[in-house]
């Protein structure tokens, strides 16, 4: 991932030609070719935006981005499980916000790019927002951060609200979405919805990976086992939030049918594990299925 120079990706896109998957949507004031995007975690440092564009995604998410360079977990884990799922423990490696901003200033493909922000302490979030708001179309605020200086994640809804509030002040008016962990607890989902409304944020991304343990260390589970929970969450969130707040679905989408089911309640769908596990061909099947189904409507 780190060794791919950006001009190679760009050349590749030009040579391949970007396939068009037409299912136009308007989202937070932006026009997207289609509502399917790459989720945070693969393109941590904005090195692969042209690759993401050339696959045919309607938008992409870079990050999570920290304000300073951070090497992440000393021993990184990324393992396949037999059912299409992955476990990962990367520990938020980041080249830092200034480097990400510089890369996006230099070259960016013609589709929306969201910046996903993480932090080891609450004050990290506004620092990333300030450094990248001129290159971000919207922000995702990732509160499921391991190894925080406060020795807990920021997943408590009150803490999330506080982080959203201070980040909003540094986001130059760019939309801010709260990315939440997976849960089937309806009260907790409702508390996140309240946090978003009270902080004046623009919506929710559901969800991050499920916490699990691998060989005694904490890791995140992604892929198909997440799907039923994410479906439950986006249905609840759409009921709870007013129409001017957006819901973005992410977790376990590995077919056009699952993407379309989530799009009944969510404005956009993001994918990641399906790309890592099955490759870009499967992602293009999802993009094609979604665009054909939406054209028939
Ligand atoms: C290898 C890997 C790294 C990830 N890194 C991040 C991250 O840095 N920030 C974040 O908000 N989510 C991260 N995620 C979570 C994904 O963005 C997504 O929410 C989750 O994997 C569920 O979607 P999926 O089942 O399509 O992968 C990561 C996931 C994986 C598999």
Q: How is the chain split into domains, by residue range?
A: 6-296
Domain 6-296 in CATH 3.20.20.70? The answer is yes
| Among 105, 90, 84, residue whose Cα is nearest residue 43 | 90
Give CA–CA dist 233/190, Å, rounded: 10
Contact residues for 89 (Cβ-Cβ < 8 A; gap 6+): 73, 75, 76, 77, 78, 146, 214, 217, 218, 219, 220
pLDDT reported for residue 153: 75
Given 65, 86, 115, 145, which residue is catalytic? Answer: 145
The C-alpha angle with vertex 291 and arms to 223 and 255, in degrees rounded to 5, equals 25
pLDDT reported for residue 218: 84
Cβ atoms of residues 171 and 133 within 8 Å: yes
pLDDT at residue 33 is higher than 50: yes
pLDDT reported for residue 147: 65
Contact residues for 49 (Cβ-Cβ < 8 A; gap 6+): 9, 43, 60, 62, 104, 108, 109, 113
Measured from CB, residues less than 6 Å from any atom of ligand 1 are: 39-41, 63-64, 78, 86, 88, 90, 92, 116, 142, 179, 208-209, 222-223, 226, 250-253, 271-274
pLDDT reported for residue 170: 97
pLDDT reported for residue 185: 97
Q: What is the pTM of this model?
A: 0.93
Cα(246) to ligand 1 centroid in Å equals: 19
Catalytic residue status for 133: no
Query: Tens digit of pLDDT for each residue in 119-157?
Result: 999 999 999 999 999 999 999 999 987 666 665 679 899
Question: pLDDT: is 19 or 248 the higher one?
Answer: 248
Mean pLDDT of the chain: 92
Query: Tens digit of pLDDT for each residue in 168-190?
Result: 999 999 999 999 999 999 999 99
> Which percentage of the chain shows pLDDT scores above 70?
92
| Per-residue DSSP letter, 75 | S
pLDDT at residue 13 is higher than 60: no
């Amino acid at each position: 991932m780190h060794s791919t120079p950006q001009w190679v990706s760009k050349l590749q896109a030009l040579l391949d030609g970007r396939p068009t998957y037409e299912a136009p949507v308007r989202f937070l004031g932006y026009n997207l070719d289609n509502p399917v995007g790459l989720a945070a975690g693969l393109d941590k440092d904005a090195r692969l935006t042209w690759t993401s564009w050339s696959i045919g995604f309607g938008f992409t998410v870079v990050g999570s981005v920290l304000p300073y360079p951070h090497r992440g977990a000393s021993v990184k884990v990324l393992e396949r499980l037999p059912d299409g799922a992955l476990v990962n423990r990367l520990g938020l490696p980041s080249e830092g916000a200034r480097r990400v901003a510089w890369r996006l200033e230099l070259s960016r493909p013609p589709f929306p790019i969201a910046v996903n922000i993480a932090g080891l302490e609450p004050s990290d979030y506004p620092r990333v927002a300030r450094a990248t708001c001129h290159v971000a179309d919207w922000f995702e605020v990732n509160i499921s951060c391991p190894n925080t200086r406060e020795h807990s994640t920021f997943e408590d809804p009150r803490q999330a609200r506080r982080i959203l509030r201070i980040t909003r002040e540094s986001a130059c008016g760019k939309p801010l979405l709260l990315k939440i962990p997976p849960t089937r607890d309806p009260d907790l989902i409702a508390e996140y919805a309240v946090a978003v409304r009270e902080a004046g944020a623009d919506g929710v991304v559901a969800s991050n990976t499920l916490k699990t343990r691998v060989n005694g260390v904490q890791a995140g589970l992604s892929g198909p086992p997440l799907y039923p929970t994410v479906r439950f969450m986006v249905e609840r969130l759409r009921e709870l939030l007013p129409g001017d707040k957006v819901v973005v679905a992410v977790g376990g989408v590995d077919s056009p049918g699952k993407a379309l089911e989530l799009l009944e309640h969510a404005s956009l769908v993001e994918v990641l594990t399906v790309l890592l596990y099955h490759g870009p061909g499967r992602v293009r099947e999802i993009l094609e299925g979604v665009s054909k189904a939406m054209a028939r409507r």
